[in-house]
Amino acid sequence: MGAVKTKRMPRAVREQQMLDAAVRTFGQRGYMAASMDEIAELAGVSKPLVYLYLNSKEDLFTACIRREATALVAAIRAGVRTDLPADRQLWAGLRAFFAHTAQHPDAWSVLHLQARTHGEVFAAEVTAMRDEIVTFVTQLIAAAAREAHRNPDLPEREVAGLAEALVGAAESLAAWANATEGVTARQAATTLMNFAWSGLGDLMAGRPWSPPEEEPLTRPGG
């Protein structure tokens, strides 16, 4: 099992192989239960090589977190068109988020579970990324308030709390969507938009938030 044993690769390539193996192992076994032996074997290299390139288990884990955090943020960024109204932007970001986490479950486990559970240092690493996202959402909310010409100065902390709640709900739904057979990224995003934008009150009253006409992620037009 593991990568085919191809000898003599340039360092950059080998490092990515190692990170792949590490993300998979950390994601499935957990940070502490993952052994460097297993990671090395899965990467198809000897343990000393892992240490030569990545220094230590901690450094290796940090490298995993950084790579995956960057990738997740990039995926979300790539999905959002900043010239659209706030709810559309949110909708696009959520779809990208749910799609990415569904496609990289081990990476998501590393970011969402493992990194938060094994020490401040690692947690800080994810927090940095998460803050980026929360800030993005916070700005969207503020923009929406401006667009609505109403309630323009919700207290800052209130907005922060709302963004936090939204991001938290998204994180939770990601796990739920991955675990529930047949829930697509699109459906998860729709559910969350309903919940977050319209609120349960409006929902009960039959006023759901409605997703825009088909608007493929890849095509630019509207």
Closest CB 16 distance from a copy of itself, rounded Å: 25
Closest CB 180 distance from a copy of itself, rounded Å: 8
Q: Which residue has the tokens 């579970």?
A: 113
Nearest Cα to Cα of residue 109 among 42, 22, 187: 22
- Residue 38 vs residues 20, 122, 215: alpha-carbon distances, Å: 12, 21, 43
Between CA 26 and CA 4 the distance in angstroms is: 20
Among 19, 21, 42, 45, binds DNA (CB under 7 A): 45
Could you say which of a copy of itself, DNA, none residue 131 binds, taking C-beta under 5 to 8 angstroms by partner kind?
none
Q: Angle at Cα 116 formed by Cα 138 and Cα 62, nearest 5°?
A: 100
| Total interface residues for DNA by CB under 7 A | 21
Find the part of the chain contacting DNA (CB under 7 A) among 42-50, 92-100, 158-166, 190-198.
42-50
Closest CB 105 distance from a copy of itself, rounded Å: 14
Closest CB 49 distance from a copy of itself, rounded Å: 15
Closest CB 111 distance from a copy of itself, rounded Å: 12
Nearer to DNA, 64 or 96 (CB): 64
Distance from chain centroid for Cα 27 = 14
Between CA 149 and CA 70 the distance in angstroms is: 35
DSSP 14-50: HHHHHHHHHHHHHHHH-TTT--HHHHHHHHTS-HHHH
Could you say which of a copy of itself, DNA, none residue 117 binds, taking C-beta under 5 to 8 angstroms by partner kind?
a copy of itself
- Residue 9 vs residues 13, 77, 106: alpha-carbon distances, Å: 6, 32, 25
Q: Which residue has the tokens 């943020």?
A: 73
- DSSP-derived letter for residue 111 is I
Nearer to DNA, 51 or 195 (CB): 51
Task: Report if residue 11 touches DNA, rule: CB under 7 A.
Answer: yes
- Residue ranges binding a copy of itself (CB under 8 A): 30, 32-33, 87, 113-114, 116-119, 141, 144-145, 147-148, 150-151, 154, 157-158, 161-162, 164-173, 175-176, 180, 183, 187-188, 191-192, 194-206, 209
Residue ranges binding DNA (CB under 7 A)? 5, 7-11, 14, 34-37, 45-49, 51-52, 56-58
